[in-house]
């Protein structure tokens, strides 16, 4: 991840976000990080680790049984213990629910979270892919229990998808919740794909369709970045850091070169004039109800 503060930049202590999902090889990312922690050198102490839970793992992955997935108290406990084992650590800094679970009351979720916190297994809790009113619900429920509430929300956010500016971002700002954007490059579309600067990427149907529908805008975007003397991917990430509600965008570099390039994005300064030009290409969303009511 890339953050505004040097303490979260890859050149210093790390903020790592593995995923508790069967698509990653049943916790493979957590295992890799766990092996890295186990090699010593104060790696764990110098790292902020955030991981997520929701779906079933292993033999339970395809079973639609009670407590094999979602936000039930039992699944929360089991998923946390499994992540700790794979990560080879005794605590998680930020533990996040990957999706909202409408079938489980927040009283049950917070009770389970409180147990994990009392046991020292989790320091803070976050969410992912929540609507604005979900964040309000969660934090009001925590307030009734004299709890801290959610501290972070992972949302899909980029210049190509600014929808969260309507309700999610205002809700997060109201409760002091930091937003961790995922897919800040718009599935690679903002990385210079029109001029072939995106590298050897495997573009999905959504990105290919976007290139057809917004090719002219993306071409103008790449020209703007060229005028700044910066790579489009780096400018796209730097732009997210200008948003007051953003904590640290998630990056997924494939090479050391891409990692080094992304690591310097907090140092890229975008002038008010440049930000205005970017807004012309990718119009912002107003806060609800102004965006659609008048």
pLDDT confidence tier of residue 211, bands split at 50, 70 and 90: confident
d(CA 223, CA 197): 12
Which position has the token pair 């009770």?
111
**Residue 10 above 50 pLDDT?**
no
Tell me the average pLDDT of the chain: 87
Taken in order of first residue, the domains within the chain and their CATH numbers are 6-293 (3.20.20.100)
**Region 195-205: what's the mean pLDDT?**
60
Per-residue model confidence (pLDDT) at position 258: 87
Main-chain dihedrals φ then ψ at residue 244, nearest 5 degrees = -65, -20
Per-residue model confidence (pLDDT) at position 8: 35
pLDDT confidence tier of residue 6, bands split at 50, 70 and 90: very low
Question: In terms of pLDDT, which residue wins out, 123 or 1?
Answer: 123
What is residue 156's three-state secondary structure? strand
What is residue 13's three-state secondary structure? coil
Per-residue model confidence (pLDDT) at position 203: 61
Query: Are 207 and 187 within 8 A, CB to CB?
Result: yes
From residue 56, alpha-carbon distances to 73, 115, 162 in Å are 14, 21, 30
Beta bridge partners of 192: none
Helices vs strands, H then E, count in the chain = 11, 6
Q: Give tens-digit pLDDT for 100-156.
A: 999 999 999 999 999 999 999 999 999 999 999 999 999 999 999 999 999 999 999
**Residue 69 above 90 pLDDT?**
no
- Strand ordering across the sheet containing 14-16: 14-16, 47-53, 92-97, 122-128, 152-156, 178-182
Sequence-separated (6 or more) residues with CB below 8 Å from residue 208:
none
Per-residue model confidence (pLDDT) at position 46: 92
Q: Give tens-digit pLDDT for 217-270.
A: 999 999 999 999 999 999 999 999 999 999 999 998 888 888 888 899 999 999
For a pLDDT cut of 70, what percent of the chain falls above it? Answer: 85
Q: Which of 16-20, 74-78, 275-279 reaches the highest mean pLDDT?
A: 275-279
Among 88-102, 182-196, 269-283, the least confident range: 182-196
**Pair type for strands 178-182 and 14-16:** unpaired
Q: Could you list the beta-strand ranges (E) of 54-194.
A: 92-97, 122-128, 152-156, 178-182
pLDDT confidence tier of residue 49, bands split at 50, 70 and 90: very high
């Amino acid at each position: 991840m890339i953050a505004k503060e040097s303490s979260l930049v890859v050149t210093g202590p790390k903020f790592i976000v593995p995923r508790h999902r069967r698509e990653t090889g049943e916790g493979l990312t957590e295992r890799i990080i766990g092996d890295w922690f186990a090699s010593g050198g104060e790696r764990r102490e110098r790292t902020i680790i955030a991981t997520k839970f929701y779906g079933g793992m292993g033999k339970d992955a395809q079973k639609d049984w009670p407590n094999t997935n979602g936000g039930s108290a039992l699944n929360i406990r089991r998923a946390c213990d499994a992540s700790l084992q794979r990560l080879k650590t005794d605590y998680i800094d930020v533990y996040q629910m990957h999706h909202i679970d409408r079938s489980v009351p927040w009283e049950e979720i917070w009770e389970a979270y409180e147990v994990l916190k009392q046991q020292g297994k989790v320091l803070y809790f976050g969410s992912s892919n929540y609507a604005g009113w979900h964040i309000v619900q969660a934090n009001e429920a925590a307030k009734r229990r004299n709890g801290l509430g959610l501290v972070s929300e992972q949302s899909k956010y980029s210049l190509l998808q600014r929808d969260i500016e309507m309700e999610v971002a205002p809700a997060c700002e109201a409760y002091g919740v930091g937003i961790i954007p995922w897919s800040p490059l718009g599935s690679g579309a903002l990385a210079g794909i029109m001029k072939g600067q995106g590298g050897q990427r495997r573009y999905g149907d959504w990105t290919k369709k976007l290139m057809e529908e917004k090719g002219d805008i993306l071409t103008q975007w790449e020209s703007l970045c060229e005028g700044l003397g910066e790579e489009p991917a780096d400018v796209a990430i730097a732009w997210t850091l200008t948003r007051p509600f953003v904590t640290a965008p998630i990056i997924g570099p494939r090479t050391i070169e891409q990692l080094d390039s992304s690591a310097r994005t907090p140092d890229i300064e975008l002038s008010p004039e440049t930000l205005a030009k970017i807004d012309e290409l990718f119009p912002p969303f107003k806060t609800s109800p102004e965006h659609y009511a008048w």
